[in-house]
Chain A
Amino acid sequence: MPQTLKLVDKRDLRPAETALALGVISRIELLRLKTIARVYARGLPPDVAWDDLLQEALTRIILGARQQPEGVTTVAFVAGIMRSLRAEHWRRVSRRSGGSEAAWLDRIGRSREIDLPDPAPGAERSLSAQQQLRAIERLFADDPVVLKIIAALGQGLCAAQIRGAMGISKTNYDSARRRMRRTLLREGLTCEPK
């Protein structure tokens, strides 16, 4: 008699489930972290997804690889780890590129004095960043005030400088920021393509 295949009845717990079970984070904090992870995953290669960032950050906390400093909220702490994972990824990419260049120079027996930087990772990162900037523009396409604020944030201006440059009141500025936050939350809670 042919053996029927059993449905999976026992799965490994995901780091987020473990963190919830251990009381490391609450459900609402987890949702907030999801929205932040989706923001931080922008511009990363497709093989590094937002859930990878978040689950990895939670894994590091559960394993005790990162200690939460006093006075820092858990959400801010996890967000900080995700940010450093993002930076770590780009460092690894540039190191890999440098490593391959050195190996190539060794193979052909040339002097390392000839500096031949590999433009590929930088170009890829730049292209990806441009695509993400366009995606952000599309996300806020129906709100020109928010778009102007985002452009100013990209220039590194602070709230007061943006208000001054745009000539808008604090109330209008705060209202625009609230609209921006709402869009980010809505986009962050779904799992639709960025």
Chain B
Amino acid sequence: MRTKVKVALPETVLARILEAFGQELLDASDQEIMEAAKELGMNPQMKGSAAFLGLTFPAKLQVSDFFDVEAIKQHVAREARERIAHATSNDLEPKAPPSKLSEISMGRKDSGQK
């Protein structure tokens, strides 16, 4: 009779490894953390140190980290409103009297037709 070999699922294997890694990091000394940071050229004593990416400032910078997105939206909406209002007022305005140039061209056209 064959021996039944139990093969652990990848998610089970991963969970065990991650658990061990987590414990390893819990057991690491503060000195080890500081040394690892220094090896990476980071100085955790500095307020804006790259070590704090994703912690005290976002890991991925977004537009909202630099600009007030709400103000941009309001600005864009106001500009659009103004453009629409301007276009509408142009449509409603009475047509301007024809320019002299157009009169001349009209006159030429008329004379030609005669």
- A residues lining the B interface (CB < 8 Å): 3, 5-8, 11, 14, 16-17, 20, 27-28, 30-32, 34-36, 39-40, 42-43, 49-51, 54, 75-76, 79, 83, 125-126, 129-130, 132-133, 136, 150, 153-156, 177, 180-182, 184-186, 188-191
Contacts and interface: CB of A to CB of B under 8 A. Distances in A.
Contacts of B20: 150, 153
13 contacts: A16-B55, A32-B26, A34-B51, A39-B21, A39-B22, A40-B22, A54-B54, A125-B11, A130-B10, A180-B24, A181-B28, A184-B25, A188-B25
Contacts of B52: 27, 30-31
A39 B25 contact: yes
B24 A184 contact: yes
A182 B32 contact: yes
B44 A5 contact: no
B54 A129 contact: no
Contacts of A136: 17
Nearest to B68: A8
A31 B25 contact: no
Interface of B: 8-11, 13-14, 16-18, 20-22, 24-28, 30, 32-37, 39-40, 42, 44, 51-59, 64-68, 71-72, 75
Contacts of B8: 154-156
A133 B10 contact: yes
Nearest to B36: A185
A129 B25 contact: no
Given A27-B52, A155-B13, 20 more contacts: A5-B68, A5-B72, A5-B75, A8-B65, A8-B66, A32-B33, A35-B28, A39-B22, A49-B54, A50-B54, A126-B10, A126-B11, A129-B14, A132-B14, A133-B14, A154-B8, A155-B16, A181-B27, A186-B39, A189-B51
A190 B41 CA distance: 11
B52 to A, nearest CB: 7
A83 B36 contact: no
A128 to B, nearest CB: 8
A132 B15 CA distance: 11
A153 B11 contact: no
A30 B112 CA distance: 90
